[in-house]
Structure 1
Amino acid sequence: MSLNVVTLVGRVGGDPDIKYFESGSVKCRMTLAVRRPTKNSEEPDWFTLEIWGKTAQTAKDYVRKGSLIGIKGSLKFDTWDDRNTGTPRSTPIILVDKMDLLGSKRDNEGGGYSGYSSDDNF
């Protein structure tokens, strides 16, 4: 048995980066800051989110820097070879299946939608 589930609640670090493909697919990338309080610091952990399809379009329309969101997804790793050294590199990415817009209308100035969105293609 294996399990790969990530659930996070935090604030978006910047406006969503949207890409449209000739195939009709939509991809959104953005960062999420999640506070993990400790005795010495309340520095956030930063996560890169990758969102596809209808959920990506919802993020484009309603999510802005500072928006409070909750996500459920899975952990994946993007891998590549460094152009200069040829060294294999990787970075963790959260592949989002579901997203909840948790803030108030004032938090989500892009339209105030505070409902639930999921992409049926996953």
Structure 2
Amino acid sequence: MTINIVHLIGRVGGDPDMKYFDSGKVKCRLTLAVNRRTRNSDEPDWFNLELWGKTAEIAGTYVRKGKQIAVKGSLKFDTWNDRQTGASRSTPVILVEQLDLLGSKQDSDGAMNDMSPENF
């Protein structure tokens, strides 16, 4: 048995980066800061998020820099070859399946809290 599930709650680091493909697919990229408690202070860990389809469209409409969100997804690694050195590179990415908008009603401008595609 294998398990690859990631749950994160944090604040969005920038406005959504939306990409629309000729095929009709939609992709959204976000960064998420999640505080990690240490003895001296809270230090953020930064995560790259990737959302597709209806979840991506919802993020593009309702998520902005500083917004608190919760995500559920899986960890994957994007890999590529460095153009200058030819070395293999990789970066961890959270492939988001579920997006929850958190915060007050004013923060969400009346948006629904659970923005999972199955709720539409």
TM-score when scaled to structure 1? Answer: 0.92
RMSD, aligned α-carbons = 1.2
Distance across 1 between alignment mates of 2:92 and 2:107: 28
87, 98, 116: which one pairs with 1:118? 116
Distance across 2 between alignment mates of 1:106 and 1:117: 17
Unaligned runs of 5+ in 2: none
Distance across 2 between alignment mates of 1:112 and 1:18: 22
TM-score when scaled to structure 2? Answer: 0.93
Distance across 2 between alignment mates of 1:12 and 1:112: 19
Contact 1:52–1:119 at 8 Å: present in 2 too? no
SS in structure 2 of the partner of residue 50 of structure 1:
strand
**Greater helix content:** 2
User: Where does structure 1 differ by over 6 angstroms across 4 or more consecutive aligned residues?
Assistant: none
Unaligned runs of 5+ in 1: none
Distance across 2 between alignment mates of 1:28 and 1:112: 22
1:55-84 deviations in whole A, cap 9, x for unaligned? 101001101100010000000000000000
Alignment of 1:1-122 (within 5 A): 1-108=1-108, 111-119=109-117
